[in-house]
Each structure stands twice: as C-alpha cells, then as structure tokens.
Structure 1
Amino acid sequence: MADVDKLRVNESIRADEVRVVEPDGDHDVVPVEEALERARDHELDLVEIAPDADPPVCKILDYGKYRYEKQKEEKRRRKKSKSMEMKELRFRPRTEQHDFNFKADHAREFLEDGNKVKAYVQFRGRDIVYKDQGMDLLRRLIERLQDIARIDQPPQMEGRRMTTILAPHKNK
C-alpha cells in the first residue's frame, strides 16, 4: 500500500522524456508534456510505474482505481499469509490414558485452527530411564493425529525432554 502512495502522478513526474504506455497497450518514448497531454485526452492520469528505468516508464490509467486495486491485493496477500503459532503440549512418561486423550483432543483443535503443535515428554529425576514410554506416548499421539497432521520433526531427545512437532496438512 505504501508503494502505491510513493508513485509520481501527472505533474509530479520529474523526467524530461518518458516511455508512455497507452490504455490500448501501445507504447513509445515521448516528452513528458506530450505524455500528460495524451493522458488528458483519455481523461485519465499519467502514473510513473518504473521510475528507475531509462527512460522512466509511465502508464495512462485511472490512478484512484489503480490505487484501490493495489490496496485490495495487498490486503488479500496479508490475509493469506496468516501467521502460524506454535502450541505446546507437555506430557510425563507415565501420563494416564484420560489425560492423554484430553491433550490429544486439544492438539487436534490446535491443528484444525492451522497452528503447529510441539508435544514433549518431560523427564524428571529418575524418569529418564523410561525413555521408551515417552517414545511410545509420542508415537501414539502421532498415530492418533495422522489424519489431520504431518510430522514436522520426528520424536527426538533434547536434554531431559523428548520432543516432536506436528503441522497441519497443507490441503486444509
């Protein structure tokens, strides 16, 4: 949106000669006064599209409409690039089935909302000897969510945590 506001229009164009692009697609290099005259004949504006070109490229168009279209396009682009959040779920090696189900349901909600889920098993003290239970727990979670999620990072140890990251399928 800011780029559209920086464009030079009509009398604010500083070049002596410009490459003018007519509404019908014809283009040629003319003095800026002649280009402005052509724009007035069409009852449109002369807009400097490529100021760095030699000579600068100007287009004859309705500046208000052009600005509106660019703003709409920018808004659509921002809407599409929705930022993805990372949600975290913490388990212990001996997490009970009810708690596991409850957290798995939360993970499903996060993934359906388009967020990534970082699930980890926290090992405290002597829990570290139960790494196999932690791996089993994360595998069960992945298996349960495989219909809506893909593995972004497989289960691996990070210090005293076993971590995995799940991301929603791209087709959603």
Structure 2
Amino acid sequence: MAMPVFFLSAIPQIYTRKTTYANPLINSPRYSTLLTLANRTKHYIKELDLKVNGAIKVPQLRVLGEKSENLGVLSLAEAQEKAKEAGLDLVLITESANPPVARIISFDKFRYQKEKELKKQQQRVPESKRVQISPREGAHDLSFKLKRLEEFLQAGHKVEVQVTLRGREKGMQDFARTKLKEFLAKVETPHRIIQEVKAGGRGLITQIDPIG
C-alpha cells in the first residue's frame, strides 16, 4: 500500500532529528529510498501548485472518493477525517469550482494517474463535443441532451454547451443564461468549467471538462 503524503513529508524530520547517539537508520537503504520518494513528492506538489491535506484552507469542499464517486459537500474537517480514516490523502483538484473539489486518494496513485493522463494527451488531442439547447426546449428533449452530455464527459471529452437564440430570443440573454446554468446544475458527472458563459456563435456558450 502506498504511504500517504503526510507521512512522506515527515520522513526527513523523523530520521534526521538530532539525538545524543548515532542513528543507524540514516545510512540504511530503506531511509535512502524513503527520503528520495519524499523529496520527489515535495517537488511534484510544488511544480503543479497542488494543495494537499493540511495545505487546504477552504471551509467546504465537494469531495470525490478514490474511485471518483461523489461523496457530497463536506466541511474541511469532515473531508480530512474521511481521508485519515481511509489512510489516504486529501488532494484539492479544482480550487476555482464552487465549492472547490477535492479527492480522497493516495497521492502516489494520483500522481501516477496524472502522469498517465499527460502521456495520453501528448499522444492525441481529446475530441471536443458540442451540445446545443434552446431556452424554450421541453423537459423531455433537455433530458435526452443531458444524457448525451453525461456520456461525452464519461468518455473523457471536453464539451461545449451552447444555448441557441433565434429572432426575439436574442434579447433574452439573462433568461437564456439562467436556463443554461439550470441545465449544467443537473450534470452529475464530476466536471469543471474551463470557459465561463459568454456570448458566442448564435447565443451563449460555455465549455466544461471531465474531472478524474
């Protein structure tokens, strides 16, 4: 089992604490391996500007489990306690969301997944999908399009969501913006907004990206 990052970060202090006697662990191969892993973890956190465990300061979080299951909105203390009980780390993955999104996962596993995703991105650019809705669209049609949007996200696609405005509807941008936000609020697949709602095309557009 991978060691939580909060343990790795303490390794240099544990083994290099000054004592009145020689510490044989400092020269042991195990210490050398753990110290290398701890330093690599610190470098990775700093390089990606990640907030992990005690570095997270926001009061509330939408928390995802190790398998990206939605655990709901929890206080920071509750989220940290769940991570501690599982022997895992709490990693802040989308600070700009409301509320911010964090995931309970071994930091080693999280880093491995991110490195794997990066390699895939370098090999191919993910296909972008589009879902178009109308501000006066019926519940049945919206439900069908919501299902398509969920499928696109689950397949790893970035999705552009557009509210198409025609004729007099072009003067109803506030109404259309509200409808778009209501539509996005129903999306259950973990995601993040990578482009805020703005005028574009024949109406309003926004872009979202899957998380995890």
TM-score (norm 1): 0.49
Whose helix proportion is higher, 1 or 2? 2
Q: Which of 1 and 2 has greater Rg?
A: 1
